[in-house]
Structure 1
């Protein structure tokens, strides 16, 4: 008779293969497997270990077990319209998918006069002072994102003292107790040439780029963050989440 832990691990792996569980998604915990399959903690633990040993997931201490990115070209999928995906942040998402993330900060400065930006046909104004962070985001040793972020120091005083690899979205909620009402996002594309002044990717050939403009809006239409980022089109795919439910997020 086939051991129960193998049947469970096969079932979870089938969910990964079918795309029901995406790279970076958290797979059921030991306690969840115990409840779902009415098995012992030993069987549940062996199931998770089997999934990890077969290269489909990775356990991150204190956080859980996450689906690894096994695509041949290591395309990363990011979801627009998902508060959960935004909350998790770039650094944590890459760790969960099995990459080694790190940042190179090109600029970190305070703009006393604030900024304005147009996103999706709507004008957003952020009063000063504003923290500007321009950084290159790496997955392993490859630059995959060129990110410029503006954060309200009026709503988030002293946030400039925090490290840049944090999930700022989580910090807005947990440290500054801001209720995020909306994340406005638009996605466009362009071809970046090697000789472009915007080429911080060390490109040697014409490369497609996704350009993501976003604004994070909290109570009374106050803008806490504006971002404009370039994502390598040969490394990323974008998905859409319709009607995200804020209160359903864990």
Structure 2
């Protein structure tokens, strides 16, 4: 009996995870899968697409489908937001990447009226301006995350936070210097499919989901000081949390 696309993808995934198919190796093409498994071409295509959407494989136009060489990013929320990191001048990305290269593209820093939902979280009056920092983070040449931060303009407009380069430790270090040190954070996560514009911005393969995270930073007096919307390529992230009972 012919196997399903999911069964074929499972077998190919096992071969990838065992190392039989190494990073950069070419996966069997649709004709080979049709012959090996006795399935229709569309079933073979769906099997390969499943691996692409999981972040295990990439398609190269006119060449085939290959095992993805990009190593997953392990995002440990508890560690990346620890004060000993940004408080000592390190980027919060250092906790995720170690020595892996990081760059920022499509950076825009501007002031505008706060969206309604952001104004509610920041406890701002209607039409209150915020400083927005909008950018895409690129790791080893691959866009992995788009992020948009919102901060009350009256507090940060004449500071490094409103400049392209916020300096060592980033936004949280600058807030601390202003007497607005973040001491706790909340994050809300959901998985969804991206819009066309989002998929193009992150160079996502067709059918690849994203993880949307809304993070709010709070000061010691429980004031919400920053809202950050992050959109992550679900195929390149492992989310890790350390929870105490």
Please report the TM-score for the alignment, with normalisation by the length of structure 1: 0.56
Contact persistence 1:125–1:223 (CA under 8 A)? yes
Taking the TM superposition and a 5 Å limit, the aligned residue runs for 1:172-183 are: 172-173=175-176, 175-183=177-185
The question of 1:215 aligning with 2:212 is answered no
C-alpha spacing 1:144/1:168, structure 2 compared with 1 (3 Å): same
Taking the TM superposition and a 5 Å limit, the aligned residue runs for 1:147-158 are: 147-156=147-156, 157-158=158-159
The question of 1:125 aligning with 2:132 is answered no
Please report the TM-score for the alignment, with normalisation by the length of structure 2: 0.57
Q: Which has the higher helix share?
A: 2
C-alpha spacing 1:80/1:91, structure 2 compared with 1 (3 Å): closer
Contact persistence 1:102–1:165 (CA under 8 A)? no
The question of 1:168 aligning with 2:168 is answered no
- Aligned mates of 1:223, 1:107 — CA distance in 2: 22
In structure 2, the residue corresponding to 1:198 is in which secondary structure? helix
C-alpha spacing 1:143/1:90, structure 2 compared with 1 (3 Å): farther
C-alpha spacing 1:100/1:152, structure 2 compared with 1 (3 Å): same
Q: Which has the larger radius of gyration?
A: 2
C-alpha spacing 1:115/1:145, structure 2 compared with 1 (3 Å): same
Taking the TM superposition and a 5 Å limit, the aligned residue runs for 1:65-214 are: 73-82=70-79, 83-84=81-82, 87=86, 89-93=91-95, 97-111=98-112, 113-117=113-117, 123-127=120-124, 128-156=128-156, 157-158=158-159, 159-163=161-165, 167-173=170-176, 175-192=177-194, 196-199=196-199, 200-214=201-215
- Consecutive unaligned residues of structure 1, counting only runs of 5 or more, are 1-70, 245-250
- Aligned mates of 1:243, 1:168 — CA distance in 2: 28
- Aligned mates of 1:81, 1:91 — CA distance in 2: 12
In structure 1, the residue corresponding to 2:111 is in which secondary structure? strand
In structure 1, the residue corresponding to 2:155 is in which secondary structure? coil
- Alpha-carbon displacement from aligned partner over 1:17-46 (angstroms, at most 9, x marks no partner): xxxxxxxxxxxxxxxxxxxxxxxxxxxxxx
C-alpha spacing 1:155/1:213, structure 2 compared with 1 (3 Å): same
Q: CA deviation at 1:201?
A: 1.1
Residue correspondences, number:
165
- Consecutive unaligned residues of structure 2, counting only runs of 5 or more, are 1-67
- Alpha-carbon displacement from aligned partner over 1:29-74 (angstroms, at most 9, x marks no partner): xxxxxxxxxxxxxxxxxxxxxxxxxxxxxxxxxxxxxxxxxx9641
- Aligned mates of 2:174, 2:244 — CA distance in 1: 24
- Aligned mates of 2:188, 2:150 — CA distance in 1: 16
- Aligned mates of 1:221, 1:168 — CA distance in 2: 18
Q: CA deviation at 1:142?
A: 0.7
- Alpha-carbon displacement from aligned partner over 1:187-238 (angstroms, at most 9, x marks no partner): 1111336xx1222112232112111111111143322110111111111111
